[in-house]
Every structure is written in structure tokens, then in C-alpha cells.
Amino acid sequence: MKLLSGIVRPVFEVWSREPVAVQGLILIFVNLLFVFSVVHLTVPQIGAINMFLVAFFAFLARGAVTPVAYPKDADGNRLVPLAPWQRAKRE
């Protein structure tokens, strides 16, 4: 069980920083299995698997990134843009 934990933990750490990059790498790996005939499927089956994986990982990645409508910091505080007069003071 420790071996599995040691393998999975780094993947979750990278996922927390770069979910879309991990998604892309997984999709590339799966498609390479098809290209090099490691997994033998028909073209429609490969297309269906790709559609499912893209939708599934898009759903997961969407939950891992900050939503644009209601952004929050690590402590859960709502982030709001600075007013023009506040920006002028900082510059």
C-alpha cells in the first residue's frame, strides 16, 4: 500500500498545480497505445474513448482551477479587483 501511495502522491501534487497539462499527457499516452497497436480497437471505438476522456478530464480540470466568476484565495476569501483609485496609489 505504501508503494501505491508513493506513486499516487506525486501525481496528485502535479495535478493540483497543472491539471490541464496532466490531462493532456494522459490523453497522449492513451492515444499512443492505439497508434502503436498495444490496444486493438476500431476507429469509431477510439473516437468514442477520446470523446469520453476529453469530457471527463475537462470536468475534473474545471473543478481544479479557480472559477472566473467567483475567484477565491487559498484561505477562501473572495478576490475582487482593485478600484481605479487604489491601482493609482500602488503604481
What is the pTM for the complete model shown? 0.62
- Tens of pLDDT, residue by residue over 21-78, are 888 989 999 999 999 999 999 999 999 999 999 999 988 888 777 666 777 787 888 8
- pLDDT at 38 (0 to 100): 94
- pLDDT at 4 (0 to 100): 67
- pLDDT at 28 (0 to 100): 94
Q: What phi and psi, each to the nearest 5 degrees, are found at residue 56?
A: -65, -50
CA–CA distance, 3 with 72 (Å, rounded to integer): 35
- pLDDT at 91 (0 to 100): 53
CA–CA distance, 26 with 15 (Å, rounded to integer): 11
CA–CA distance, 54 with 45 (Å, rounded to integer): 14
The cell for 74 is: 487559498
- Tens of pLDDT, residue by residue over 3-15, are 767 777 887 788 7
CA–CA distance, 4 with 52 (Å, rounded to integer): 26
CA–CA distance, 68 with 91 (Å, rounded to integer): 25
Altogether, the residues listed in the chain come to a count of 91
Q: Which residues contact 39 (CB under 8 A, 6 or more apart)?
A: 33
Question: Looking at per-residue confidence, does 19 or 32 come out higher?
Answer: 32
- pLDDT at 50 (0 to 100): 95
